[in-house]
Structure 1
């Protein structure tokens, strides 16, 4: 059965001698591998290898089929072959993993079948290993320096393939991508550090916002009930009509409390009231005893005698 995981030779098998019949020799075509799309069969005959590249089915009595001692199926389509190479670091505990992609295509299926090339990765890996300096780049660095190593390895592989192109008989090979894989332990460590930084930054932003909100609310509290009522109204948490009514009620209660205090004060202590306060008291007295011209009674501000407050 064909092993489609191999490349460029995906299958090869030996053939028994063709059967001799009364009409001549012939071969049962079931002995041959199935012709897969993008492939060609290459027959080994007495004088070498012959690729059958005609776009038709083979016949059981064709000389190529009868005389073949083996047959190979060669994949003619281009394919990317990835080669992995271990590159030591400065620590025996760690190493860098270099992945190099090569673009490959069969140019001569007969030479490929003759070589029995079923795995392109090994000759390409040996090709890379011939550059001794390539595998020594990592020994100067630890895995934490992977970005520096990545750049140096990429530049080295590119220069090496330009100066000494890879060669495999019967194949065309060109350099594709170059990748240095981040070690799992390093990736996990960096991921943990990143998550910690994200969490810390998030906490800083949250605390900063909380501090600003606390400072703003403290300013409203310091501003007293009116400032708090304004904040509540701005947030839609307060009925403005109720707030106004409450404000007037509080002011009225304060006025009444002040009147009660004035009623309870002995007359001889009235001269201790400050000028501004006396004006306020005067307005309250007017309310208590009725509107009366200032000339008809002594005022609070001129130091004259005050009438008694009505009970």
Structure 2
């Protein structure tokens, strides 16, 4: 793995604002620095020319010397790949860096002064990262875990045919599916009717697609007001506006999460096939 230091991660204004926020947590903090760090997983050693090309892509190459108790290294959570990494890895490969397996980016925050107390450092770390998608390392030695590969685990079968509803309840608690009681009944009846047992993957897919975070469960459902069934689902009510407007410019709406609208003729900006110049 290669570790490269890049440009400052924050403008002076944003750095000062963040420093003021950290001083609320620990008034003893004297200064704050922030630089992008790039971590590159490779399949082999780079030639000098390849390394130079990589350094040009990430705009930096010098190592970060300041380490120790003041380092807070914010990186994506191990086991995930950031959207930035996905795009940057493609760019590196398209630039001829075939040995690049993955490029990941983090931010090294260097906090000068302040308390060395564990509780204080925990507060500071909490202010520097989004714990939903990021984690904080205190040493560059920990970065290797970003690229750790786990062996694929086999499917697990939930024995509904023999265990009945209780088997689904145990799986619900173990995997954190957050299935409601009526959903467990629905699954149990469905797989008994199919005369087969579900896998853990099928149950996870059902839990995700059927969760309240998925708009289709709520907006496409039938519903009633004061016991009176409504003729339109919530999605149908939204579509109803378009059906009454009947704008001829709208060729397709609410189809596959997209709409097609008639535009007007316009010039196109593309390269000449002979000269390869844009014009």
- Output the TM-score relative to the length of structure 1: 0.22
Structure with the greater relative contact order (CA < 8 A, sep ≥ 6): 1 or 2?
Answer: 2
Q: Which has the larger radius of gyration?
A: 1
Q: TM-score, structure 2 length as denominator?
A: 0.24
Which has the larger share of helix? 1
